[in-house]
Structure 1
Amino acid sequence: MNPHLQLLHPYPFEKLASLKRGITPPADKAHIALSIGEPKHATPHFIQEALLQHLHGLTQYPTTKGLPVLREAIAEWLSRRFAIPGQYIDAETQVLPVNGTREALFSFVQAVIDPRDKPIVIMPNPFYQIYEGAALLAGADPYYLNTVEANNYLPDFDSVPEEIWRRCQLIFICSPGNPTGSVMSLAEHEKLLKLAEQYDFVIASDECYTELYDDEANPPQGLLQSACQVGNASFKRCVIFQSLSKRSNAPGLRSGFVAGDAAIVQQYLKYRTYHGCPMPVPTQYASIAAWQDEEHVRQNRQLYREKFTAFINILQGVCEISRPPASFYIWLKTPVSDTDFAQKLFAQQNLTLLPGSFLSRDSEGINPGLNHVRIALVAPLEECIEAAERIKTFILGER
């Protein structure tokens, strides 16, 4: 067996199951789960119809590169959404469909990392655990870059020692962030782009939450958008990961894409050809329909705004709570340890949240996930309101 398998940490939800084991919550309260970032809004009907109308495509072996019409739809969406002139996005060489970004984030690291030179993969801390597992299995050392309140929950690139940058082959950024919802600016992207040029590493930007934002007039900045604005129109060293899971409430479709630096994308295509993970043809047509429509995405954002407003209005008098600029998470500080808070809340209120320490590691003398819980506002509005009331009752009862 691969010896690196022994380095993998238990997944956050394994830890959560252990934390809840042996506890019997009150039977008179229906269970509410706000721990998993799985969208619960309905998948738009037109996406389902596009899938059904192309089931005859199941008779075909799909190509790893995907249908040209899908890559073109993605390139056109990138151009519209991020104000990138169309001539800078080549659907033939710079866009690659993937079966959801979880699979792609993992496999991309295996293709990019050269294990012969003591490589480092830098990642935000807290983080999506796929970043860490992918780095470890590729033979790289993770470097956990703390994202803390003092820096608006964004990575502080100035804090990274030069010896780390010299060994860095890949850095993950996640904007809007999971779990904090913080958004990187053009200036922050520009600083990282200069570092990538200086030290020759790849930037992998996880942008799965860019379409869930609070201010309709101020959508989050994307890495390719920033690269183009600062003169890197070929997106050298830049690769982004996008998904329909959150944008279109289609997590079961397993559809996303990778786009950016043509040289990197083409090498990654070579890897994927052997990896054996082409997107089924019916899924590709459903994806085309999704990327070509924005109205369902605007409606989706409005549903989340309503939940954030109701949830925060109930809790703002009893705890420190703020509205993130994007994502569907609330990163809530806890008055006691995050694990105690989550365990007692489940025991008393039959409500499941995810302890922040399950999403982070000790780094530079701190664990930035401690004394926080991640709340995913994915349930229907009524359930989110009920959850907020239960949390309020719990906090007041603990005082």
Structure 2
Amino acid sequence: MNPDLQKLQPYPFEKLTKLKNAVTPPAELEHIALSIGEPKHPSPQFVLDVFTESMGRLANYPTTAGMPELRQAIADWATRRFKLQPGSLTAADNILPVNGTREAIFAFTQAAVARAPEGEATPLVVSPNPFYQIYEGAAYLAGAEPHFLNCTADNGFIPDFDAVDASVWERCQLLFLCSPSNPTGAVTDLETLKKLIALADKYDFILASDECYSEIYLDEAQPPVGLLEACAVLGRHDFSRCIVFHSLSKRSNLPGLRSGFIAGDAACIKPLLSYRTYHGCAMSIPNQLASIAAWNDEAHVLENRDKYREKFQTVVDILSPVMDVKSPDASFYLWAKTPIADDQFAQGLFGQQNVTVLPGRYLSREVDGQVPGEGYVRMALVATIEECVEAAQRIRAYVESL
């Protein structure tokens, strides 16, 4: 077996299950899960109707590149959303539909990393810390070494890229951004994106921006800026060295559809298409037709944001008197500071109140003697407003009992 598989750490939810198994929650309280970022809002009915009506197309093999109509719908949406120069993001060369961002992130890393010849330094895949664990696993299995940049309250939960030594950039082949961030909700601003594009040019690495939470934000007048948008501002209409990942899972409450896209530099998209052709991961035609309907509509996305705004305001009002917590810039997570160790907090909360949250240490690695997720828990406000309010009240009761 591939020896690099031994480098993979247990997934955060495996660790959480083990933590919870040590206690027994009260049977009289219904379990409320704030641990998994799985949207619980209803999927748009018009998308489900398209999916159902197209089930007869399961008799057809889909192509890896996806239907031209889907690629065009994606290109049109991204051009509108990120104010791109019309025609610069083409359906033929700059777009590839994928089965969700997890698959795309992993596959792109395998295609992008050039393994080092024997005797040369191992290439680096640089990412924020805390982080989405796929970045790490994909790096190891591509023959690279993950390099983590701590995100703390002191730096606004955005890595201090100015503090990164030149020797790191010289070995870097791929830099992952996550904006809006999982788990902190922090958004990387335009000036930082411009700076990173310049670094990518100077040191010849690829910028890969995971933007799957970009459509969940609190201020309707200030949607999170995207990497392709930064390219457009710079007049970089070929998106050189820049790649983005987007998904319908969070935007449209369709996590089971497994539908997203990767877009950007055509020189990166073409070899990825070749890789995925061998990988055998084409999206089914019903999924593609349903995806077209979703990308072409914004009304359901606005309604979705309104629901999250209500939940954030209500839950933060309940918790802020007893916890250090505030609404994020974007995403559907609360990154809450805990009064005791985060893993003890998560275990005690489950044991007393039957509410599950994710310890921040499970999303982090130790760097420079620091585990930046320690002392925080991630709360995913994905359930109904009623369940989120009930969970917040139980969390407050638990904190007050400490």
Structure-2-length-normalised TM-score: 0.98
1:233 to partner: Cα distance = 1.2
Residue 348 in structure 1 maps to residue 352 in structure 2: yes
Which residue does 1:310 correspond to in 2? 314
Secondary structure, aligned partner of 1:115: coil
Aligned residue runs from structure 1 range 4-23, under 5 A? 4-23=4-23
Residue 279 in structure 1 maps to residue 283 in structure 2: yes
Aligned residue runs from structure 1 range 368-383, under 5 A? 368-383=372-387
Contact 2:85–2:237 under 8 Å retained in 1? no
One-letter code aligned to 2:337: K
Q: Deviations over 1:273-316 (max 9, x none)?
A: 11110110010000000000000000000000111011011111
One-letter code aligned to 1:320: D
Secondary structure, aligned partner of 1:88: coil
Q: Deviations over 1:59-86 (max 9, x none)?
A: 1110000000000000000111111122
Which residue does 1:210 correspond to in 2? 214
In structure 1, stretches of 5+ residues that fail to align are: none
The counterpart of 1:232, out of the listed 227, 236, 243, is 236
1:231 to partner: Cα distance = 2.2
Secondary structure, aligned partner of 2:239: coil
1:49 to partner: Cα distance = 0.6
One-letter code aligned to 1:378: V
1:87 to partner: Cα distance = 1.8
CA distance in 1, matches of 2:76, 2:323: 44
Q: How much identity, in percent, do the aligned residues show?
A: 56
Q: Deviations over 1:338-366 (max 9, x none)?
A: 00000000011111000000000001221
Which residue does 1:112 correspond to in 2? 112
Which residue does 1:319 correspond to in 2? 323
Structure-1-length-normalised TM-score: 0.99
One-letter code aligned to 1:19: L
CA distance in 1, matches of 2:313, 2:202: 43
1:232 to partner: Cα distance = 1.4
Which residue does 1:54 correspond to in 2? 54
Q: Deviations over 1:170-204 (max 9, x none)?
A: 01000000000000111010010000000000011
CA distance in 2, matches of 1:243, 1:21: 33
Aligned residue runs from structure 1 range 115-130, under 5 A? 115-116=115-116, 117=120, 118-130=122-134
1:246 to partner: Cα distance = 0.1
Aligned residue runs from structure 1 range 379-394, under 5 A? 379-394=383-398
CA distance in 1, matches of 2:64, 2:86: 24
CA distance in 1, matches of 2:269, 2:327: 36
One-letter code aligned to 2:310: E
Q: Deviations over 1:216-248 (max 9, x none)?
A: 111000000001101211100000000000000
CA distance in 1, matches of 2:90, 2:212: 21
> Structure 1 residues 21-30 or 345-354, which shifts more?
21-30
Secondary structure, aligned partner of 2:256: helix
CA distance in 1, matches of 2:248, 2:369: 37
Residue 152 in structure 1 maps to residue 170 in structure 2: no
CA distance in 2, matches of 1:62, 1:158: 45
1:10 to partner: Cα distance = 0.4
CA distance in 1, matches of 2:375, 2:219: 28
One-letter code aligned to 1:259: A
Spell out structure 1 runs of 4+ moving beyond 2 A. Answer: none
CA distance in 1, matches of 2:237, 2:288: 27
CA distance in 2, matches of 1:282, 1:55: 6
One-letter code aligned to 1:325: D
Aligned residue runs from structure 1 range 177-188, under 5 A? 177-188=181-192
1:321 to partner: Cα distance = 1.1
Superposed CA RMSD in Å reads 0.7
Secondary structure, aligned partner of 1:379: coil
Aligned residue runs from structure 1 range 235-254, under 5 A? 235-254=239-258
CA distance in 2, matches of 1:66, 1:198: 34
Aligned residues: 398
> Structure 1 residues 166-175 or 227-236, which shifts more?
227-236
Which residue does 1:296 correspond to in 2? 300
The counterpart of 2:363, out of the listed 339, 359, 366, is 359
1:24 to partner: Cα distance = 1.0
1:22 to partner: Cα distance = 3.3
Secondary structure, aligned partner of 2:87: helix
CA distance in 2, matches of 1:308, 1:212: 12
Secondary structure, aligned partner of 2:22: coil
One-letter code aligned to 1:276: G
> Structure 1 residues 114-123 or 197-206, which shifts more?
114-123
CA distance in 2, matches of 1:318, 1:6: 42
CA distance in 2, matches of 1:390, 1:139: 45
1:155 to partner: Cα distance = 1.4
One-letter code aligned to 2:370: I
Residue 24 in structure 1 maps to residue 28 in structure 2: no
1:54 to partner: Cα distance = 1.1
Q: Deviations over 1:125-165 (max 9, x none)?
A: 00000000000111101001111111111111112111110
Contact 2:125–2:144 under 8 Å retained in 1? yes
CA distance in 2, matches of 1:191, 1:159: 13
Which residue does 1:42 correspond to in 2? 42
